[in-house]
Amino acid sequence: MVIGGLERTTRVFTTYTILALFVAFCLFPFLWMIDTSLKPVAEVRSLNPSFWIVHPTLDNFRRVLADDNFPIYFRNSVIVAGGSTIFTLIVSTFCGYALSRFPRQRLTQAVGSALLVSQMIPGVLILAPIYIIMRRLGLLSTFEALILVYCAFAMPLCCFMLKGFFDTIPRELEEAAELDGCSRLGFIYRILIPLSAPGILANGIFCFVTAWNEFLFGYVLINDEARRTLTPGIMVFKGPHLTDWGALMAASVLAVVPVALFFVNLQRFLIDGLTAGAVKG
């Protein structure tokens, strides 16, 4: 009994030690970012960097918030991320329903295959073609360009995730609604969407966070400061000869904290939505 208890205690201790090291490894960049944002310039540029802050200060945050463009970048990110999330969810809901209810149709199979293939193409490979298309359409430096791009990258995964969730909703429920005189569109709005709320919310969180954190397309497609989003807008603190690391880290903290709080408060719905659509039964 003593040996068995000792082995169990050793396994538990080893498990939690490994988990603690893994958590520390994952949180290290974020903790270092917060640490740097609270340091004065002299400590940021020290030749012997450390986590210990001798003279903590909020000057870096004051410089960021004093920048007139930072609130504009924040507003633009909310518009782009929110717009792309709403548009993606609307299209993905109907597409996921078609993939779930008509899996044997040739058109459905072709669309599903195209969505699957699109997931295999890295975004950086089609950056130049997308730039040319947006230039010919006159959409450069507009919110519409970023919203279309973010929707194009988020829709395939959202369609498949919602399809898996819709597969768990019995067809008998839809047939009963039809017998009661409910149209297919009425079934989607009145029954399918309310029952699929956790899955739709999970996809919404995924779309919003992806659009909020995206840098490459926001940096290339937007050249107007009035339309620049938050992630590439942070680069204003990085000059050609000198980088204001304190302000850069402070701006990064301000950009990450809202999304982190949003994710922490809704992670229960995210887990429920993902697990509910992962199995069929």
Band of pLDDT at residue 226, cut at 50, 70 and 90: confident
Q: What pLDDT, on the 0 to 100 scale, is given for residue 256?
A: 85
Which domain range does residue 210 map to?
70-276
For Cα atoms 168, 113, 167, give the angle at the middle one, nearest 5 degrees: 5
Residue range 152-202, pLDDT digits in tens: 999 988 998 888 888 888 888 888 888 888 888 888 888 888 888 888 888
**Which pLDDT does position 177 carry in this prediction?**
83
Q: Do 218 and 79 share a domain, yes or no?
A: yes
In a domain, 48, yes or no: no
Span 45-51, average pLDDT: 79
pTM: 0.81
Torsions phi, psi for 243 (to 5 deg): -115, 125
Q: Are residues 23 and 97 in the same domain?
A: no
Share of the chain above pLDDT 70, in %: 91
Indicate whether 257 pLDDT > 70.
yes
| Cα–Cα distance, 213 to 215 (Å, whole number) | 6
Residues 19 and 126 in one domain: no
pLDDT in tens, 121-162: 888 888 999 999 999 999 998 999 999 999 999 998 899 888
- pLDDT at site 281: 43
Same domain, 145 and 209: yes
Domain co-membership, 29 together with 167: no
Q: How many domains does the chain fold into?
A: 2
Q: Using alpha carbons, select from 169, 165, 203 the residue that is nearest to residue 87.
A: 203
